[in-house]
Amino acid sequence: MRRYVSFLTVCGAFAISSAIAPLEELFSWNQIDYTWPSLEQRQDAISKGTFAPENNLPLGLEKWNDKLFVTVPRWKSGVGSSLNYISLKQPIDKSSFLIPYPSWEANTIPSNKTDLKPDHIISTFRIKSDVCDRLWVMDTGVDDILGSYNVVASPAIVIFDLKTDTLIKRYELKKDDAKDSSFFANIVVDVDKDNCNDAYAYIPDLGGYGIVIYSLASDDSWRVEHNFFHFDPLQGDLTVGGVNFHWTDGVFGIALSNKLENGHRTAFFHSLASTKEFGVCTSILKNKTAATTPGNYYAFKVLGDKGDDSQTSASDFDPNSEVLFFTQLQKDGVACWNTKKVLAPENVALVAEDGERLVFTNDIKLARDEPYLYILSDRMPEFLYGKLDQSKINYRIFRLNVNEAIKGTPCAG
């Protein structure tokens, strides 16, 4: 306990119970489809194999104003468009087609690298909008990941102006930012509205066990490595939706606390194949010299353990309640933890659970303009290791009122 309090002082104050809140199902699909320019173009894509509906799995989401962004990584060949959105303007169709963003052209794989344009999105897993109305996209640059593994472009951060739907910048990661085993499936943005140029992106490398930091102001990136970024060898055996699999995914989810008195935040992070949560002050990450100095090993702290079978993909921090929400892959749900309390199983609450509709809660995002948590479930283990039944609903997006969700749980007050 003494060590935990000491960490909070450095960077600001900061058996699972259950209080399941009602889920509002917004969208559901047997298969994903898109708003094609024409029916003829869709049929032509199917005949050529550039669109195979059964190979399109939604994975990441983000909400900005009346747009709900949905990513479709190119796990397999035949993905129509990787970066998309759904309009939330009324009326809403539960089986809405995805609209490519910023355009169809930007989501079309170029025939060769010389045809690659700065706004091209080859394959993205997760995205993040910031308080300056920008969308940050981590483009892996790889098509047909599970098949031919076609490297179309270098891994890159692609930033769009959401008000004009135009490209702001494309930044290719440097060679020393990555390893042969690197896989970049997430991006988190640290910025204040009164200084939009002084923005930082934190990109976890789940395969290479590191975090890449990008500074918009200096247009530079650097890589941080630490033991806490590795997977727990005792927590890589998972069973979800009746599918047993073994993963070695390292650092995966990052969520940022409110701004602290010293002007920085706490970065909460975890590996997917782990049940523990860690933290570090962002002053360490944002300082290139400090971040890459081995002497800063002890600046990274163990915050606690979420409990048995609590492996987590995505997490997000609610600035109003200071509650951290995180997916619960083996429990078909979402849980919460009040960051002002010690992280232990008795302080973790399951706030959403459904053995049919929440199989593999792949991503969650808190809305900035309303008290809702958006949740995407997609049965991904069945997609990766088996075959989804295309006659059934496989993919769903929900929203959950965060205030109602934490009421009566250890996450409240």
What is the structure's pLDDT at 19? Answer: 57
Distances (CA, A) of 357 to 25, 354, 373: 9, 5, 16
pLDDT digits (tens, 9 = 90+) for 357-370: 999 999 999 999 99
pLDDT digits (tens, 9 = 90+) for 140-156: 999 999 999 999 999 99
Residue 276 has pLDDT above 60, yes or no: yes
Residue 329 has pLDDT above 70, yes or no: yes
Residue 2 has pLDDT above 60, yes or no: no
Q: Flag the least confident range among 55-59, 111-115, 340-344.
A: 111-115
pLDDT band at 13 (very low <50, low <70, confident <90, very high): very low
Distances (CA, A) of 388 to 60, 70, 110, 242, 381: 19, 20, 29, 12, 10
Q: What are the structure tokens assigned to 9, written together?
A: 């002082």
First to last CA, the chain: 20
Mean pLDDT of 125-148: 97
Residue 91 has pLDDT above 80, yes or no: no
pLDDT band at 9 (very low <50, low <70, confident <90, very high): very low
Mean pLDDT of 321-335: 97
What is the structure's pLDDT at 92? Answer: 78
Mean pLDDT of 262-284: 97
Query: Three-state SS across the chain?
Result: CHHHHHHHHHHCCCCCEECCCCCEEEEEECCCCECCCCHHHHHHHHHHCCCCHHHCCCCCEEEECCEEEEECCCCCCCCCCCEEEEECCCCCCCCCCEEECCCCHHHCCCCCHHHCCCCCCCCEEEEEECCCCEEEEEECCEECCCCCCEECCCCEEEEEECCCCEEEEEEECCHHHCCCCCCECCCEEEEECCEEEEEEEEEEECCCCEEEEEECCCCEEEEEECHHHCCCCCCCEEEECCEEEECCCCEEEEEECCCCCCCCCEEEEEECCCCEEEEEEHHHHHCHHHHCCHHHHHHCEEEEECCCCCCCCCEEEECCCCEEEEEEHHHCEEEEEECCCCECHHHEEEEEECCCCCCCEEEEEECCCCCEEEEEECCHHHHHHCCCCCCCCCEEEEEEEHHHHHCCCCCCC
Mean pLDDT of 367-386: 96
Mean pLDDT of 321-332: 98
pLDDT band at 113 (very low <50, low <70, confident <90, very high): confident
Between 21 and 31, residue with greater pLDDT: 31
**Separation CA 97–CA 106 (nearest Å):** 18
pLDDT band at 14 (very low <50, low <70, confident <90, very high): very low
**Separation CA 95–CA 83 (nearest Å):** 17
pLDDT band at 294 (very low <50, low <70, confident <90, very high): confident
- Share of residues in the chain with pLDDT > 90 (%): 89
Bridging pattern class, strands 17-18 and 348-353: parallel
Q: What are the structure tokens assigned to 137, written together?
A: 């996209």
Q: What angle do CA 202, 205, 210 make, to 5 degrees?
A: 80
Q: What are the structure tokens assigned to 113, written together?
A: 């690298």
Q: Can you say how many angstroms the Cα of residue 51 is from the centroid of all Cα atoms in its chain?
A: 25
What is the structure's pLDDT at 7? Answer: 39
What is the structure's pLDDT at 18? Answer: 53
pLDDT band at 413 (very low <50, low <70, confident <90, very high): confident
pLDDT digits (tens, 9 = 90+) for 214-248: 999 999 999 999 999 999 999 999 999 999 999 99
- Could you tell me the domains of the chain? 2-406 (2.120.10.30)
pLDDT band at 299 (very low <50, low <70, confident <90, very high): very high
